[in-house]
């Protein structure tokens, strides 16, 4: 029986499994989450902070789904490396897992952008379940939080912190929140003003200050703002575990629209991939809908069918309706 190994906990891992099992193909499937959790919806993580979403509801499917579909899950062993020539995944404690086909959906670690002081306590990202949980636990020490958004998920995180009674400052590196969408940016600025969210434009963070813990940020202008928490939404996967693998990579793993890499029987999706052609503007791991579609395309390719992924840009204006309170969405906005 052919064996598929899926690395990561992206929603794409879930949709790939669902597609393969729905086809009736008799594959031996092993799932290796890099953070120890079953696939979950990253877009729901701000809801955990706001306590509007229960922990169990962030998962794409309950554990019974994987049991019923005969999925082997290895979530207590750290990923070490992959030998693509021998078709083996190496985990902690000398555990080896063979594969015929490999689907990579996430990396063991992420990398922050180059900002000084990122290692201080109180600095977080919002792409992993454990990070969202740590943010929730750290809130008792926080009066002011600085958020560096990259998508609606970052805006939702800021609103969650505001709902928790924290002073929130959103910092954007450019002169618009979403430079590619002028109308949405103008609307967002008005909505954030009505929601009492402080916004700083065109003035990125250069340094996070403090003795061990985050106590302030210094902006490019030289302005220093006191804070006890910094959340940087945009991070990239740390792909050093794939060094010298032979995979074609730039910042991420290069794939075609079928999610195929340059190596036979190796596919990459979601946060770890970038399309060779056509190029996609914006983040590659922004929303769950695109991740689910990528998983389906990868599974179809494994089955010998060609389905091409088509990136669907999030409808920001519609997204605002689900992000902001009703009172902020009055006609004058």
Tens-digit pLDDT profile for the chain (333 aa)?
Answer: 799 999 999 999 999 999 999 999 889 999 999 999 999 999 999 999 999 999 999 999 999 999 999 999 999 899 999 999 999 999 999 999 999 999 999 999 999 998 999 999 999 999 999 999 999 999 999 999 999 998 889 999 999 999 999 999 999 999 999 888 898 899 999 999 888 899 999 999 999 999 999 999 999 999 999 999 999 998 999 999 998 899 999 889 999 999 999 999 999 999 999 988 766 544 455 689 999 999 999 999 999 998 999 888 777 888 887 777 655 555 555
Query: Beta strand 205-209 with 216-219: parallel, antiparallel or unpaired?
Result: antiparallel
CA distance 231 to 148: 6
Q: What is the pLDDT of residue 26?
A: 87
Closest of 107, 110, 108, 27 to residue 70, by C-alpha? 27
Tokens encoding 118? 């990122």
CA distance 277 to 165: 45
Q: What is the pLDDT of residue 317?
A: 81
CA 265 and chain centroid, separation:
24
Going from the C-alpha of 137 to that of each of 60, 130, 168, 227, 269, the distances in angstroms are: 24, 11, 17, 16, 31
Which neighbouring-strand residues pair with 109?
A: 238
Closest of 310, 161, 293, 277 to residue 228, by C-alpha? 161
Q: What kind and span of H or E run contains 192?
A: helix 182-194
Q: Determine contact, residues 60/242, Cβ cutoff 8 Å.
A: no
Count CA within 13 A, CB hemisphere, residue 57: 10
Residue with tokens 């929730």: 136
Closest of 159, 181, 182, 179 to residue 170, by C-alpha? 159
Q: Tell me how long the chain is.
A: 333
Angle between helices 152-163 and 316-323 (to 10 degrees): 20
Residue 219 burial (CB count, 10 A)? 17
Residue with tokens 């509007």: 52
Show the domains of the chain with their CATH numbers: 3-110+236-302 (3.50.50.60), 113-234+315-329 (3.50.50.60)
Cα 183-184-185 angle, rounded to 5 deg: 90
Q: What is the pLDDT of residue 181?
A: 86
- Check: pTM over 0.85? Answer yes or no: yes
């Amino acid at each position: 029986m052919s064996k598929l190994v899926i690395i990561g906990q992206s929603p794409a891992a879930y949709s790939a499994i669902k597609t393969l099992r729905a086809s009736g193909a008799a594959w031996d499937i092993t799932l290796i989450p890099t953070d120890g959790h079953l696939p979950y919806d990253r877009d729901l993580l701000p809801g955990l902070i706001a306590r509007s979403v229960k922990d169990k509801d962030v998962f794409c499917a309950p554990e019974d789904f994987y049991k019923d579909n005969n999925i082997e899950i290895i979530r207590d062993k750290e990923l070490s490396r992959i030998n693509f020539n021998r078709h083996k995944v190496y985990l902690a404690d000398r555990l080896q897992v063979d594969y015929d086909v490999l689907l990579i959906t996430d990396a063991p670690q992420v990398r922050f952008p180059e900002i000084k002081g990122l290692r201080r306590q109180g600095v977080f990202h919002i792409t992993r379940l454990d990070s969202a949980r740590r943010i929730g636990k750290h809130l008792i020490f926080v009066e002011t939080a600085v958020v560096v958004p990259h998508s609606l998920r970052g805006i939702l995180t800021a609103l969650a912190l505001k709902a928790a009674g924290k002073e929130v400052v959103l910092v954007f590196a450019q002169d618009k929140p979403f430079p590619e969408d002028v109308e949405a940016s103008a609307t967002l600025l008005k909505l954030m003003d009505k929601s009492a969210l402080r916004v700083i434009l065109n003035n990125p963070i250069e340094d996070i200050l403090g003795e061990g813990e985050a106590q302030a940020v210094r902006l490019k202008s030289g302005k220093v703002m006191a804070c006890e928490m910094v959340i940087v939404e945009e991070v990239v996967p740390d792909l050093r575990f794939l060094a010298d693998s032979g995979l074609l990579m730039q910042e991420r793993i290069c794939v075609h629209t079928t999610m195929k890499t340059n190596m036979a029987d190796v596919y990459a999706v979601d946060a770890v991939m970038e399309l060779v052609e056509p190029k996609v503007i914006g983040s590659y791991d922004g929303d769950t809908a695109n991740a689910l579609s990528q998983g389906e395309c990868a599974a179809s390719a494994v089955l010998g069918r060609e389905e091409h992924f088509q990136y669907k840009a999030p409808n920001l204006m519609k997204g605002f309706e689900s992000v902001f309170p009703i009172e902020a969405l009055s006609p004058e906005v």
